[in-house]
Amino acid sequence: MKKTSLLLMVAATLLFSCAKDGKDGLPGPSGATGANGIDGNANVIATNTFTTASNNWFASGLYFYADLTVNAITQDVVNSGAVFVYEQNGANWAALPYVAGILSRSYQFRLNNLYIFYQNTNSTQTTNPGIRTFRVVVIPSSVKIDHVNMNDYEEVSRTFNLD
């Protein structure tokens, strides 16, 4: 009986002696939830700018392609990440793929490699693209991109602090 009384007394002391609502240095009630901000992006990998020359392009049938080594394209990125490519046009950057006139520009990627293709849409032979400048953005699957216009390099660059 003594043990039961002692146990009840200890339980009652603990239950009724705790301070509430921030008194005596204990945490008070939770505050209001803040506005939802943009999630962080520490895992975004922006590769350096790639500049091709005439000897970087290879003819294959009616198209030319460049094979660029991009070590940031890991197996995780291939399986469930994203790769975005932008081509410099003067002071602006255009997202690939796109067509200007009859010239189509597109790309494919695989582990550690990026292929950029130039091809005419009318099935005629295109010419060697020569010197071209590209930027590549590699994003692992853990990074959310649903709030970013990935076709706008300037927005991508601001959002992911690339430059």
Q: Which residue, among 64, 68, 56, has the nearest Cα to 120 in the 3D structure?
A: 64
User: According to the model, what pLDDT value does residue 128 have?
Assistant: 97
d(CA 110, CA 14): 62
Options 2.60.40, 1.10.10, 3.30.70, 1.25.40; which CATH number does 45-159 get? 2.60.40
Q: What is the pLDDT of residue 61?
A: 93
Encode pLDDT of 124-147 as tens digits: 999 999 999 999 999 887 776 667
